[in-house]
Structure 1
Amino acid sequence: MSLTLQDVAWHDAMGRIIETLDRPHFWTALVRLLANYVPVDNWVVLIYGAGKPRVLAESPGEDGAVDPLFQDYLKGLYLLDPFYIANRESLQSGLFRLQDVAPECFEQTDYYQRYFRLNIVTDEVHINLQLDNERTLSLSLGSQCRFSLEQTALLGLVRPWVAALMRQRLLFEREPGESPELAPNWQDRLEAATAQLSSPLTAREMEVGRLLLSGCSNKEIARKLAISAETVKVHRKHMYGKLGIKSQSELFSLFLQAQEPL
């Protein structure tokens, strides 16, 4: 059996990572190892479930301060995140690229323009490990440049190693001391924010609105909700009329307001 110097370096690094499984800097050490092979400009480790994602670790800010954009994500913007949506629609382990999960009109959304490209910058991949029927452990890697096919192929090659380490690390993660925070209820909060409406939005109109904001085209929404594209247009027209708005940007602003505590 012949080994290259790169092979030896990888196995040596993995041994060092295993030694850090029970230490606070494990996630940082793991990402630094991966950054030797693919570009990583920011990262976060999350557990996706029915409620707000639980953050296990994240890349530190330049000044060590809390990232306000990421706090906005946790307040409710995650409901528009294509990785979160894909995870809730189909829980599974694997390597997922942004281009695999992003809706057709994702780059035209306010979520992309006002959050994603400022926080993630350009591209993102997730290494997901399904924990049970409700939860997924996810390592998100963000980059200022597009991940190449070679880079994503390399991540796919090492994914079994990384996923095994992620599973073992959970044994050393502290469980939150309080009950998990439930996801902001988009319908209840928006109804409260627009309580003066003479005709409140229906649950279907709310769902169409959320999918529109996430970047889904009329055809994609129709497929997800098992209705026709024309029916989607009708729901959208009724929703805009009730809210007194004319654009998705205005709808996005209302969505942000609905995430704030009542």
Structure 2
Amino acid sequence: MTLILNDIAWHRAVGQMIEALDRPNFWTQLVRLLNQYVTFDSWVVLLFSNGQHPEVFAECPGEDGGPDPLFQDYLRGLYLLDPFYIASREQQRTGLYRLTEVAPEHFELTEYYQRYFRLNVVADEIQFNCQLDGDRTLCLSLGSTTPFSGEQIALLSLIQPWVLALLRQRLPHEAQETVTPPATAGQGDWRTQLEASVQQLKGAQLTARELDVGRLMLSGCSSKEIARKLEISIETVKVHKKHMYSKLGIKSQSELFSIFLQAQKA
């Protein structure tokens, strides 16, 4: 279906969404409306904040109607490797973003991609980001089993102002409608939590910089990208990687990912 600026049906639908802002089925109505114009296979509404696990406002139902085990792994800690989460923390901006814009150079080679993303999202993802006060970002993510086309992206860009305005106006009504309450990451930041878990699992004491390098490696960043993000040399990145592998007694990123996953479940 093609959308043009004077599409009467679209404007009528937006009016209906405004009327539904305080209703429990708001998110379902919104994704059904978007699905009339752009085809996608999964969706989720999240609130990203520093120092907390993502807060789930709404999500598409699983095949059996129950919670998705893979998504539960995401909420426990895999979100730290999510390109969209990382991008929202590094550059807190409002707008429409697609996977190719935020994914690091080696994303498709990561264990995160192989063991989570391609199984849960499959092929492509786009995300409406609405930056709120402080460090919070309200996100509507749409996943697809096939890559989104240029025409679909252009259409979503066209309706982006309406969608973002609806997200912002919906937020005050979320207090009593949240699917899962926000889970704090415990005392300190994610480094403190992960370091404690790694020490418990492996008896290893990793430095904050080694933890940074490890997480960026697992998210798909090349040594060059890690060096740029951390403002250190590529040689220093390699030294941190060597020390980290030695302390953990491992030889591959696959082993590092397994430790990371165990740490989130510990």
Q: The TM-score by the shorter chain falls in which range? A: over 0.9
Shift in alpha-carbon separation, 1:64–1:93, aligned structure 2, 3 A: same
- The alignment status of 1:241 with 2:246, answered yes or no, reads yes
Shift in alpha-carbon separation, 1:4–1:235, aligned structure 2, 3 A: closer
Secondary structure class of the residue paired with 2:97 = strand
Note the C-alpha offset of 1:4: 7.0
Note the C-alpha offset of 1:5: 11
- The alignment status of 1:191 with 2:199, answered yes or no, reads yes
What corresponds to 2:39 in structure 1? 39
What corresponds to 1:17 in structure 2? 17
Q: For structure 1, which segment, 170-179 or 225-234, has the greater mean C-alpha deviation from structure 2 after superposition?
A: 170-179
Counterparts of residues 1-262 of structure 1 (less than 5 Å): 7-50=7-50, 51-174=52-175, 180-182=183-185, 184=190, 185-195=193-203, 197=204, 200-261=205-266
Aligned partner letter, 1:181: T
Note the C-alpha offset of 1:8: 1.5
CA contact (8 A) 1:120 1:143 kept: yes
Cα distance in 1, alignment partners of residues 5 and 87 from structure 2: 38
Aligned partner letter, 1:44: V
Note the C-alpha offset of 1:94: 0.4
Note the C-alpha offset of 1:243: 1.0
How many residue pairs end up in the alignment? 256
CA contact (8 A) 1:91 1:133 kept: no
Q: Which runs of 5 or more structure 2 residues have no equivalent in the other structure? A: none
Cα distance in 2, alignment partners of residues 238 and 174 from structure 1: 45
CA contact (8 A) 1:122 1:146 kept: yes
Note the C-alpha offset of 1:133: 2.3
TM-score, normalised to structure 2's length? 0.91
Shift in alpha-carbon separation, 1:147–1:228, aligned structure 2, 3 A: same
Cα distance in 2, alignment partners of residues 103 and 188 from structure 1: 27
Deviations 1:94-123 (A, max 9, x none): 011100100000000000000001001110
CA contact (8 A) 2:96 2:126 kept: yes
Cα distance in 1, alignment partners of residues 181 and 108 from structure 2: 37
Secondary structure class of the residue paired with 2:17 = helix
Secondary structure class of the residue paired with 2:7 = helix
Cα distance in 2, alignment partners of residues 237 and 179 from structure 1: 36
Aligned partner letter, 2:200: A
Aligned partner letter, 1:58: E
TM-score, normalised to structure 1's length? 0.93
CA contact (8 A) 2:45 2:138 kept: yes
Cα distance in 1, alignment partners of residues 67 and 4 from structure 2: 42
User: After the TM superposition, which parts of structure 1 deviate over 3 Å for at least 4 consecutive aligned residues?
Assistant: 3-6, 175-180
Q: Which runs of 5 or more structure 1 residues have no equivalent in the other structure? A: none
Cα distance in 2, alignment partners of residues 79 and 109 from structure 1: 13
Instruction: Give the CA RMSD over aligned residues.
Output: 1.9
Aligned partner letter, 2:45: V
Note the C-alpha offset of 1:159: 0.8
